[in-house]
Amino acid sequence: MASLKTQERTKERFSLLLLDLEEFYFEEHIAYHVTNISKNERKSRGSFKVCSRSIIFDPEDLTEPILKIPLRDCKKIEFVQKENNPFNEPRPSAISVSCGQVIYIKESNVISPYRNERGLKKINFQLEVWTKTEDVVQTLLQLHRASCLDKLGDQTAMIAANLQSRLARSSFDKNCFQNVTEKPHMECEVEMVTPLVSNPGHVCITDENLYFQPLNGFPKHVIQIKLHRIRRIYKRRHCLRPLGLEVFCTENDFCSDIYLKFYLTADRDEMYYYIATFLENHMTEHTAESYMLQWQRGHLSNYQYLLHLNNLADRSCNDLSQYPIFPWVIADYTSSQLDMKNAATFRDLSKPVGALNKERLDRLLARYRGMPEPRFMYGSHYSSPGYVLFYLARVAPEHMLCLQNGRYDHADRMFNSIGETWRNCLEGATDFKELIPEFYGDDCSFLENKLSLDLGRKQNGSLVGDVALPSWASDAGDFLQKHRTALESQYVSENLHEWIDLVFGFRQRGSEAVAAHNVFHPLTYEGCIDCDSIQDPDERIAMLTQILEFGQTPTQLFSSPHPQRITPRFHNITRSSSLTSPVSELSPSSQSEDSSFEDLTEESRKMAWTSMGTLTQVSSHKIHKEAVTGIAVTRDGAAIFSTSQDSSLKMFSKELKEFQRSMSFSNMALSSCLMLADGKTVACSSWDNNVYFYSIPYGRRQDTLMGHDDAVSEMCWYDDRLYTASWDSTVKVWQCVCDSSSSNKRYQFELLAELEHDTGVNAAGLNPAGTLLVTGCKDGAVTIWDTSSYETLQQIHCHSGTIHHAAFSPDSRHILSIGADSCMKVIDVQTGMVISSVKAEEEQRCFCWDGNSVLCGGQSGDLLLWDLLSNTVTKRIAAHSGAVTTMWMNDLCSTVITGGEDRQMIFWKLQS
C-alpha cells in the first residue's frame, strides 16, 4: 500500500509487530533452541531477541514457528553454567526459562492467528557467544521483575528507565557518515514511529544528511535521508504531546520517509528549524490557507487538497490513531449503473455520518438530551486504529494481529462488502466511520485477498475472501476508478467545503458542532485533557490508551466557514438550488458577469507572468517634482496622465516621449487619478478634500466636487457612479450626469450613499461587474460592500497597520490587500476568510494581479512577482530608486507603467 508500509515479504520473518503494543526490542543474539527428543539433543539455530516484555526466538528454519515467551508468564529464568561431559568436553552455558505460556507465530511460515500453548514448560537456549550468557540472563531478570509489578505505571516506569539507560550508554556512530567532511549539528535520543510500533535509537543531523540509528540495528544499521531531497516537514502531536516530526521527500504522497518521536519538545523544535532553515531555497512551507487558495482555483484536485489538510491536521499514515480521513461520497451501492449527473447518487456532505439517517439521529438526540454533562451524540468516532485496520486487514494482517493480541476479528465483522459497510454506517447504533485515502487511490489490493489469508468462515459457511463490490463496478480496479471520479465530480467539488467544515473546520466543535449534530465524546478532541497532569501513573496510562484507541478528532484548521470551490458551470447535472456560486449568493446582479472556471483559466493565461517571460524596461521619465501618486491612460494609449504630491496633473505623450501639459488645481498633493468612461475627462483626487475634473479636449479644469472633510485618498468609477474614499472615514457614492445642454458639458453630482468606517479609508476598489466594493482603512480593516444596497457584506480586520491597496481578482471571488505590516492577504469574498497570508521582506505599496500571480511594488523600489499559490517570489526586478507608489497595466497585460517616490514614471513591456 502506498500509505501503509507493510513489511516486505522476505525471508526476514521477524517484525516489530510481533511485540506487544508499547513494547521495545532491545537486543539480538545468535542462539540455539535446545530440545531433547528421546534424550537425543536437538539444536535449532536462530535469533534470540530480548524485548522489554518478552523473549522472542526466530529460527532460521522457516518451517519452524517463531516462539514468543511473555516475561510475565515466566516462573524462573536461570543461568546454567557450563560443565564437562564424561568425555571431558566443555558444554556451553545456557539460559533456562520455565514459563506457563508459549506463543507460536507464523507456523509453516504462514501469517495466521497466533497459537497459545499453556502449561508449565522448560525451554533452553544456548548463545553462540557463550561469554554473553550471564549478562543476558541478568537483563532478562531485570525486565522480568518489571513485567511482574502489580501496577502498570510502575512497569512502564521501570522499562522506560532501562531504555533511557541503554540510550545514554550509546551514541550515534559517526563512522556512518556518507562524507568525511560532514559537519554534525545535533544528536539526540528519539524513537522512529511506524504503525503501532516505535523503535528507539539516535538521530543525528549534519549539514548534508539526516541519520537515524536504531538501538537494536533493526531493520538496518542506519537510515539516511539527504537534506536536499526533503520537500515537506511537519511537527506532529504524538500521543497527545508535541514531540513528533515527520519528513517527506515527496510532494503528493501520504507516506513519509521517516517519522521521529523526540523525548523533549525543545529537541524536536531545534531539528525542525534547522531543516527548515536549510531548505529555505529548496521548499515552501504551505499553510492551510495557501492550499485552500490553490484548491479553490483548481490547481489542486479534491484528493490532493484533502491529502494536504490531513497532513496539516496531524494525520499520518505512521500513526493509526491519527490516520488520514477521507469522506464517503457515494450513497448508491445498489444500482447497476452509477449516475454521476444525479445528486441522489451522492452522500450529503453537509452532515456527519451519524446524522445521515434521520431515524437513527432522532434516537441519538433523545439520548443526548437526557445525558449529564459533558454530553455527546456519538459514542464512537469516525476514525480509529480499529477502523483503519478493518479496511486494511487484507494487506496489513500483521498489524491487525498486533492490535488484537494475535487474533483476527470475527469473520462476520470483517470488511466483507462495501455496500454492507455503508449500510451499517447508516443504520448501525455505534458505527459512524468515514473512509481512508486508499478508497481513492489506484492500488486495489486492500479489496482483494491476494495473500490467501485464512480470515475465517462466516455464519453462512463461506470463507472471508475478496471484498464484495457494488454491482456498478466490474472489478476492484473499476471500483477505485469510479470512486476517484466521484471524488472529483461536480457535485463533490461544489459541496466538499461543507464536509471540511465538519472535520477540519468551524463545525468541528462548540455551538456550531451542536447545531450540525457533530458532537463526539470529549476525549476525542485535542486539548480535552492534559494526561501529564494526572498524578496516578496507572490512571494516566489508562486515559492515554483510551484516547489513542477510541479515536482522535483532527487538529482544527479553520475557525470560519470554508469557502466553496470555483467550479465549471455544467447545466446537465440534477442538483439542488443550494449549489449556487459564492458570487451569485452575494450579489445576484453579477451572475451574468461571473466567469466560469474555464474562462478564468483562459484569462489567467493572459496574465501568467511567471510563464510568459520577462518584464523589460522600455523607458523612464522624471516629469514630477515629488512622488508620483496616480496613473491614467487614454483608451488609445496615446496619452498618459499622472498625478503627484507636487500637486500637479501632467500629460505625457507616448508617441513624442515627452510631457506636453501640466495643470495645478491647488497647493496640496493630488492622491490619485482615473479616466472617466467618456475617455475625455480625467478625475483627480486631492488632499484638499476635493475631486477635480480635467477636460482633455479643452485642456482645463472643468468641474470641482467638494465632497469630503479630509483628504480624498482614492476613487473608483463604474457606470456613471463615482466612489470617493477619504481620510474622513467615509466612502461617498455619487451619481455623475453630464449636462450636455451646457457648452462646457459640465458634470452634475448627486450623493447616493455615504458608507461609514471606523477610521480613515486609504484604499477602494470595485469588482469588474461593479456589484461589489472593497475598502481598506488605516486600522487594517477590509470591508466588502454591496453596491446595490450599500450594505456591509464582510468586515475583516486582517492587517496590523494602514492598508495601502486592495483589489478584487478578475472573477470577483477573492480580494488581495497589502499594508504597512508588509503582509499580503487573500480574502475569500463569500466567507470573509483570510485564505492566504504572505509576509514580504519589505512593505509593499501597490500591485496588479490575476488571482494567482501578483506584480507588486515595494518600499525599496523593486518590482516583485509573487506566486500566491506557492507563496514564493518568482522574480525580482530593479525598478525605482525609491518606493514604488502606483502602478497601471493595460487590459492585454502587455504594458505596465510604474510611478515612484523617485519622481519617475517607468514604462515596461511584457515580453513573451
Q: For the chain, how big is the Rg over CA atoms in Å?
A: 35
Range 169-176 average pLDDT: 94
Strand order in the sheet with 761-766: 761-766, 772-777, 781-786, 792-797
Whether 572 has a pLDDT exceeding 50, the answer reads no
Confidence of residue 241 (pLDDT cuts 50, 70, 90): confident
* Model pLDDT, residue 89: 57
* Strand ranges of the sheet holding 700-706, from the earlier edge strand across to the other edge: 670-675, 681-686, 690-695, 700-706
Q: Quote the longest CA-to-CA distance of the chain.
A: 135
How much is the mean pLDDT over the chain? 88
Q: What is the dihedral of CA 369, 374, 378, 384, to 10 degrees?
A: 180
Average pLDDT over residues 853-867: 92
**Lowest-pLDDT range of 33-42, 243-252, 416-425, 737-746:** 737-746
Residue 609 DSSP SS3 = helix
For residues 837-864, average pLDDT: 92
Taking only the tens place, the pLDDT of each residue in 396-440 is: 999 999 999 999 999 999 999 999 999 999 999 999 999 999 999
Place of cell 502489580: 150
Output the 3-class SS for 227-274.
HHHCCEEEEEEECCEEEEEEEECCCCCCCCCEEEEECCHHHHHHHHHH
Predicted confidence at residue 5, as pLDDT, reads: 45
Write down the pLDDT at residue 284: 60
* Euclidean distance between CA atoms 700 and 702, whole angstroms: 6
Least confident of 55-69, 164-178, 577-591, 717-731: 577-591
The CATH code that applies to domain 320-512+546-550 is 1.10.1540.10
Q: What is the mean pLDDT of residues 40-58?
A: 93
The pLDDT of residue 613 is above 70: no
The per-residue pLDDT for range 328-386, each reduced to its tens digit, is: 999 999 999 999 999 999 999 999 999 999 999 999 999 999 999 889 999 899 999 99
Q: Is 745 helix (H, G, I), strand (E, B) or coil?
A: coil
Q: What is the mean pLDDT of residues 19-35?
A: 93
> Looking at residue 285, what is its pLDDT?
64
**What pLDDT sits at residue 1?**
46
Report pLDDT for 273: 92
pLDDT given at position 42 = 87
Query: Distance (Å, rounded) from C-alpha 213 to C-alpha 175?
Result: 12
CA distance 295 to 291: 6
3-state DSSP assignment of residue 788: coil
**Rounded to the nearest 5°, which phi and psi values hold at 387?**
-70, -40
In the chain, domain spans: 16-167, 171-285, 320-512+546-550
Backbone phi, psi, residue 60, to 5° = -70, -30
- Please give the average per-residue pLDDT across 699-719, as a whole number: 93
- The pLDDT value given to residue 576: 35
Domains 16-167 and 171-285 share a fold: yes
What band does 713 get if pLDDT is binned at 50, 70 and 90? very high
245 backbone dihedrals φ, ψ, rounded to 5°: -145, 125
What pLDDT was estimated at residue 85? 53
Query: What pLDDT does 605 receive?
Result: 39
Cα–Cα dist 608/550, whole Å: 49
Predicted confidence (pLDDT) at residue 240 exceeds the cutoff of 50: yes
- Can you give the pLDDT at residue 747? 76
pLDDT bracket for residue 231 (50, 70, 90): confident
Rounded Cα distance, 84 and 376, in Å:
71
The fraction of the chain above a pLDDT of 70, given in percent, is 90
Helix and strand tally (H, E) in the chain? 16, 44
Identity of residue 602? E
Question: pLDDT tens digit string along 720-741?
Answer: 899 999 999 999 999 988 766 5
- Architecture of domain 171-285 in this structure: Roll (2.30)
Q: Find residue 76's DSSP bridge partners.
A: 98
Give residue 513's pLDDT: 96
Q: DSSP letter string over 477-509?
A: HHHHHHHHHHHTSHHHHHHHHHHHHHHTSTTSS
Cell of 34: 535446545
pLDDT at 761 over 60: yes
Give me the pLDDT at residue 584, please. Answer: 31
Which positions ≥6 away from 790 have C-beta within 8 Å?
A: 733, 752, 753, 755
Please write the tens of the pLDDT for every residue from 785-834: 999 999 999 999 999 999 999 999 998 999 999 999 999 999 999 889 88
User: Is 575 a residue whose pLDDT tops 60?
Assistant: no
Rounded-to-integer distance, Cα 822 and Cα 816, Å: 13
d(CA 417, CA 496): 25
How many CB atoms are located within 10 Å of the residue 797 CB?
A: 13
Q: Are 903 and 625 in contact (CB under 8 A)?
A: yes
Task: Give CA 524 to chain center in angstroms.
Answer: 20
For 647, how many CA atoms within 13 A lie in the half-sphere containing its CB?
A: 10
Task: Identify the architecture of domain 16-167 in CATH.
Answer: Roll (2.30)
Burial group, residue 906, by CB count within 10 angstroms (0-12, 13-18, 19+): buried
